[in-house]
Amino acid sequence: MKHLIDAKELSPEYVERLIASAEDIISAPGSYSDRCRGRILATLFYEPSTRTRLSFESAMLGLGGQTLGFSSADSSSASKGESVADTIRMVSCYADICAMRHPKEGSALVASMHSGIPVINAGDGGHQHPTQTLTDLMTIHSVKKKLDGLSVGLCGDLRFGRTVHSLIHALSKHKNNSFILVSPDELKIPDYLREEMIKGGVRFTETEDLKQSIKEMDVIYMTRVQKERFFNEEDYVRLKDSYILNRQKLSQAKKDLAVMHPLPRVNEISTEVDDDPRSVYFDQARYGRFVRMALILDLLS
């Protein structure tokens, strides 16, 4: 049985195949409207979500299937103490495929080990978010027409940002990519990830200076400082406005820079940037639906 738990599973060949499938769905949606008729997607969201949960549900509905699930732990038997392993065993009786978001790292892997249906990791704590990565890769491919030879800036919360961790893993497998990691010292990438990058020969630099480093980037991936990952609210308040991308900073960037954000944003991208043709973060949300359609079809095949 196939699952998608970790962005490390996303080989360049697999990514290219899913992107091609998603592009075909965009061009001929009617050809796919009955592909999952009679199939059910379970969305098990122990954490709040807008884009990821709704895009999964929209994807399944667009394929002619149905959805069921819950949108918070409080509305599930987790509030009574039921384990992830027991929950997925029960859900396997009612659905054909599952997308799960959970605040604890490794929860999706645990679910896959006890599941009778394919499990998709829709985000596990500060660890991984592989379907957001597929969305990001499709967005980059649509703008740059390639996934290699890029200078990719990652800015903001790189310590807890699971979308950042997943994107680094995925883009590192494509040739000649380099990373510019922009963050305050407290929010740098985790040590384990830095060690993996060094061991794998991945080219990267770390800096606290967005104004200067943005000049070198082909892609900039902004992230919010995540309040829910902090134990100390004073630390959150001190760091939450560390980097704000505005029109003035963007004026220093390349004319074909792609400005990305997994959303939701707080104020790390000024609304004055929304109308800049280089801003593609709302396109990311649209691509998310189609690439998840392609993934569902692949895992159910």
Question: Which residues are catalytically annotated?
Answer: 51-52, 80, 101, 129
Nearest to 100 by CA among 75, 82, 81, 73: 73
Task: Give the pair of three-digit tokens for residue 6.
Answer: 């970790």
C-alpha radius of gyration, the chain, whole number: 19
Length of the chain: 301
CB atoms under 10 Å from CB of 31, counted, come to 10
> Any residues with CB less than 8 A from the CB of 25 and at least 6 apart, and which?
31, 32, 290, 293, 294
Task: Give the pair of three-digit tokens for residue 41.
Answer: 């997607």
Listed in order, strand segments (DSSP E) in the chain are: 40-45, 66-70, 97-102, 119-124, 151-155, 178-182, 203-207, 219-222, 258-260
